Amino acid sequence: MAIARGVSVSTHRTMFIVLLSLVVGICIKAIGVLLVSAFGVIPACAAQLLSRIFTHSLKFKGNSVNRSKFIGIASGTALAAGTTSYLLSDRSNLLRADINLTDSKNAMLKPDEAEILFLASLAPSGHNTQPWFVQYLEPYHWIIGNDKNKWLPAVDPTQRETMLSIGAFLQNLDYAASAFGYVCDWTLLATTNQDDRVMSVKLLKEASKNAFDIAKIKSRRTVRSNFLSDVLKPEDLKYLVNSEPKFIHYLPTTSKESQFINEQTIAANRLQSHRDPAQQELANWIRFSSKDAEKYRDGLTTASMEIEGISGWVVRNFYDKDNVMKKDFRERGIDTVKQEVSASAGWILITSKDNSVAAFLETGRRMQRLFLKVREKGIAIHPMTQILEEASTRQTLNQSIGINESIQFILRSGYVKNYPQPVSLRRPIDWFIRT
């Protein structure tokens, strides 16, 4: 048709191809510049600097070396070395999705028992220590225990948080059992936070009226960044608090009590990060490399601390426990806390009726019931417990915010636009079952 109208098609075609090549060329160049800068220009400049010194010395010795050829070889070598070492490095965060958690070689375990215990183990715990074990007595009859090796003496000397974490484990177990058609028959065994044997449980086959949706257990996670500052909507608040208003208190970000918790959280983090035993304990639970994360399947990984991209790569490949003890690491930790508390819907505090073992376990369960409800509302939760862990901030808390009951959890809450997938690791069930 164009030819019929006398248009010179071949000229237009040629012009179009030239233009297209130009556009594609510019795009490729833009990406190329980034890659070449990272792997080419920087090593090449270093090589050139070196080569200046080199050619001088070589000439001095009466040799004649072609300088541009030398630069070429040096840059090529540097580029190849840089690329190879990057490819051999610890390149990406190890995620929960990368590991198999449900496989069990324990012949005694029935498939549904294995599934229920796996789901229970997805409970949160301070520093992700997973301080529980399960003593297998007979099918569907276990003792849930407190694993001394997983305590955090520097920040939790009375094992209050250990018991709260075990409480969260019990709640997951209860919900998971209901999904497989069991009700749990519990007997409290522990009289102190230090007792090995905490609870005995029997799973009784009984058509449960409320089978819990286990997808909620699998998708729950602690979120630490990108909180919005909108206060919780009344209908969401009602959904979260309604069943236990006596024990769940919401302090909206606009309230002076919430501002007080912000300030105290920063102060407590400052105190704790300068307390060497606490900082050393934190260092011991950080799994810097993917190799260690895979080996231990617990603790805090770069992924669970939400250290992404180049920063994550640097931490995985170049950091160790000694870095955590350095001044700049401690300072950066406090800066992160300042940033975190500057964005939230406010704080959710969970109280207990007293400080008995039973009350700690029940409060852990209460926290977990709440935690399992927030994702469907697009609300993130971040426990920040330092105020309760440092004596000076703990002592003034109740009076300053006008709550009389014992506060067991301080949870930063907030809506998030994109809810991330869970990434923290868990030990496989065979590692925490004792037969």
Ligand X SMILES: Cc1cc2nc3c(=O)[nH]c(=O)nc-3n(C[C@H](O)[C@H](O)[C@H](O)COP(=O)(O)O)c2cc1C
Q: Which of residues 264 and 424 has its CB atom nearest to ligand X in the complex?
A: 424
Rounded to a whole number of angstroms, the minimum distance from the CB of residue 423 to ligand X is 7
Contact pick of 143, 174, 424, 429 for ligand X (by CB under 6 A): 424
Q: How far apart are CA 61 and CA 165, in angstroms?
A: 72
167 binds ligand X (CB under 6 A): no
124 binds ligand X (CB under 6 A): yes
Q: Which of residues 165 and 178 has its CB atom nearest to ligand X in the complex?
A: 165
Residue 114 amino acid letter: A
The total number of residues shown for the chain amounts to: 435
Angle value at C-alpha 188, between 184 and 194, nearest 5 degrees: 130
161 binds ligand X (CB under 6 A): yes
Q: Which of residues 42 and 416 has its CB atom nearest to ligand X in the complex?
A: 416
Q: Which of residues 79 and 410 has its CB atom nearest to ligand X in the complex?
A: 410
Q: How far apart are CA 147 and CA 35, in angstroms?
A: 49
- What SS3 state is found at 183? strand
Alpha-helical segments (H) within 158-220: 160-179, 214-219
301 binds ligand X (CB under 6 A): no
222 binds ligand X (CB under 6 A): yes
Q: How far apart are CA 240 and CA 289, in angstroms?
A: 37
Q: Which of residues 261 and 384 has its CB atom nearest to ligand X in the complex?
A: 384
Pairing of strands 346-352, 248-252: antiparallel
131 binds ligand X (CB under 6 A): no
From edge to edge, which strands make up the β-sheet containing 197-205? 182-188, 197-205, 141-146, 132-138, 433-434
Query: 95 with 303: CB under 8 angstroms?
Result: yes
344 binds ligand X (CB under 6 A): no
Could you tell me which residues are beta bridge partners of residue 348? 250, 411
272 binds ligand X (CB under 6 A): no
Q: Which of residues 168 and 203 has its CB atom nearest to ligand X in the complex?
A: 168
125 binds ligand X (CB under 6 A): yes
Beta-strand ranges (E) seen in 97-206 are 132-138, 141-146, 182-188, 197-205
Rounded to a whole number of angstroms, the minimum distance from the CB of residue 91 to ligand X is 23
Q: Which of residues 161 and 174 has its CB atom nearest to ligand X in the complex?
A: 161
165 binds ligand X (CB under 6 A): yes
Contact pick of 43, 71, 126, 270 for ligand X (by CB under 6 A): 126
String of DSSP letters for 263-296: HHHHHHHHHHHT-HHHHHHHHHTEE-SHHHHHHH
Residue 159 amino acid letter: Q
414 binds ligand X (CB under 6 A): no
Return the residue nearest ligand X (CB atom). Answer: 124
Proportion of the chain in helix, strand, coil states, percent, rounded to 5? 55, 15, 35
362 binds ligand X (CB under 6 A): no
Selection from 432, 435, 433, 363 nearest residue 129 by Cα: 432
The size of the interface with ligand X (CB under 6 A), counted in residues, is 21
Rounded to a whole number of angstroms, the minimum distance from the CB of residue 187 to ligand X is 23
Stretch that binds ligand X, among 7-15, 43-51, 158-166, 390-398 (CB under 6 A): 158-166
Q: Interface residues for ligand X in 365-394 (CB under 6 A)?
A: 382-386
| Interface ranges with ligand X (CB under 6 A) | 124-128, 161, 164-165, 168, 221-222, 224, 300, 304, 382-386, 422, 424
